[in-house]
Amino acid sequence: MSHPLLDKHRATLDGALNAIATRAYWSAYNEMPSPKTYGETAAEDGKKAFEAHLGKQFDLGQPGATGWAGGEQSPYGIDLNVQYPVCNYETLIAAGQQAMGGWQKVGADGRTGICLEILARLNQQSFELAHAVMMTTGQGWMMAFQAGSPHAQDRGLEAVAYAYREQSFVPAETTWDKPQGKNPPLVMKKHFEIVGHGVGVVVGCGTFPTWNTYPGLFAALSTGNAVIVKPHSNAILPAAITVRTIRAVLAENGIDPNLVTLCVADRAATQKLVTHKAVKSIDFTGGNVFGQWLIDNCRQARVYAELAGVNNIVIDSTDAYKPMLRNLAFTLSLYSGQMCTTSQAIFVPAGGIDTEDGHKSYDDVCADLARAVSGFLSKPEVALAVLGAMQSADTIKRIDMADSGTLGKVVLASTKLDNPEFPKAAVRTPVLLACDAADEHAYMEERFGPISFIVKVADTAAAIALSERIVSTHGALTAGIYSTKPEVIGAMTAATMRAKVALSINLTSGVFVNQSAAYSDYHGTGGNPAANASYADAAFVANRFVVVQRRYHI
């Protein structure tokens, strides 16, 4: 018998299942903050809900509380002063294990239905979440709304759909009837129970605290596991709001809310948490140092890690020169390059490129891209909306180092912009550097932030070979090619197949290399050093549960 919440949200689940099968455009949640979708008062209500958290203690009613902690510093300079419960990690693990029994009993249909209800509730809170994301990450408002709310919710739903599909392949029971010739057949009744692998821990990042958290959270939860959300120390509020909503929906449906908890912890406590023998899955997005530590030390768990890479683009030729430059300018400017998918290295042949406007030298490409970025950001209202603010002081230090010229010739220097609405916000425009292919120390590691290199290479073949080597050795989530020649596109395609990275070809309009669409785009292939998993595919969910059978003669 189907669960009532699965019946309620059946159309949403069916839409998601169809979308992951066809990879066509579909979205369950409206990406535009429209009053028609979210209600006439939703924007104001969401802002008030966000503001109501400021300067307060965010009580979640969790077990094992030992005190309060906070300290988030808003990139926009506003005072947050939210305090969150600090709970003993062993108590949270034990409580999660205890709750898993009831969660298993509701079955895959029940788990899916409840997860769908949670996502629907989170969608109703989209404005509250968007303000929390914006003020903790530095994202501009529209990105904070879209990526922080509906797009994140779509990624969560995507994981639920994959989990439901994989679990649906397992029958609840069967009658096994084996003929024995003249003798009576062997007849057995067999039952198959889907059981969660164990406690899952989701370690959040400071730039996309919902978009990068929801896939692992809902993949683990919908497959029968307890989940402990360990947020980034500077982006706790979006995670706390999410956990509060999940706990409320669980309680309403007779499930122990301690199935999902928030763990505010320092590095030492986090290391103890993730290496605990009861933790069986870990989702992580962030830097290579801690990510590799997780992979090396959490042997008891399956680690799904998205790490730093060197995203790159090869420019061979184009028949849309100005549109190409405009597309690249937006790509390099969006959220000040603080995206795991933003291009860092742009490879241009030393002999230049052919365009519909005639031949362009390497120096022409450098100068024209610099003008395109400056022109795109020339209107303050556009610049502030697109750039957002610097999430971390470390990113500002990297920009200053790039501006000094120590990594390459400065083609376009970063400038500081004032934000009248948020005078304390640190807003910086992108810096473009020119360097030779031999200067690998400069561009062949991630320089997180609005820092990009226009790398002079011998020719297009050398550029493609360099792109493949970078992805294979350092990893990447995105790669791009601009060319009018089918053989060049074919060569780049083959290189990305070998290196296992997603490729965008000749983007010149409203789609950008650093954007990833739920249900259609696989975010990460799981095949290069930048990510050992993909958002989302069957592998992202299938190893989070086991099937335990029992059988007897009848």
Q: Which two tokens stand for residue 229?
A: 């959300």
End-to-end CA distance of the chain: 24
Q: Which two tokens stand for residue 471?
A: 């992805």
**Mean per-residue pLDDT of the chain:** 97
Q: Around 336, how many Cα atoms within 13 Å sit in the side-chain half-sphere?
A: 29
CA dist 270 and 69 (Å) reads 15
Query: Would you state the pLDDT for residue 2?
Result: 82
* Mode of pairing for the β-strands spanning 173-180 and 183-196: antiparallel
* pLDDT tens digits along 376-429: 999 999 999 999 999 999 999 999 999 999 999 999 999 999 999 999 999 999
Strands (E), 404-544: 409-412, 416-417, 427-428, 431-436, 451-457, 478-482, 502-505
* pLDDT tens digits along 262-302: 999 999 999 999 999 999 999 999 999 999 999 999 999 99
CA 5 centroid distance within chain: 27
Q: Which two tokens stand for residue 409?
A: 């010739």
Q: Which two tokens stand for residue 18?
A: 């169809």
Long-range Cβ contacts of 294-303 (<8 Å, 24+ apart): 294/203, 295/532, 297/271, 298/274, 300/275, 300/276, 301/198, 301/201, 301/274, 302/197, 302/543, 302/544, 303/532
Residue 334: DSSP 8-state: G
Residue 417: DSSP 8-state: E
Tell me the percentage of the chain whose pLDDT exceeds 90.
Answer: 99
* pLDDT tens digits along 177-194: 999 999 999 999 999 999
Q: CA of 161: how far to CAs of 122, 213, 260, 358, in Å?
A: 17, 16, 20, 49
Q: Which two tokens stand for residue 38?
A: 């979210």
Domain range annotation of the chain? 4-308+535-553, 312-505
More confident residue, 389 or 2: 389
CA dist 290 and 497 (Å) reads 28
Burial of 114 from C-beta contacts in 10 A (0-12 / 13-18 / 19+): buried
CA dist 311 and 445 (Å) reads 10
Looking at the domain 4-308+535-553, which fold is it?
A: Aldehyde Dehydrogenase; Chain A, domain 1 (3.40.605)
Residue 375: DSSP 8-state: H
* pLDDT tens digits along 515-544: 999 999 999 999 999 999 999 999 999 999
CA dist 507 and 239 (Å) reads 34
The pLDDT of residue 433 is above 90: yes
Query: Would you state the pLDDT for residue 543?
Result: 96
The stretch 12-40 carries a mean pLDDT of 96
Q: CATH assignment of 312-505, given 1.10.150.120, 3.40.1190.20, 3.40.309.10, 3.40.50.300?
A: 3.40.309.10
* pLDDT tens digits along 305-331: 999 999 999 999 999 999 999 999 999
The length of the chain is 554
The pLDDT of residue 1 is above 80: no
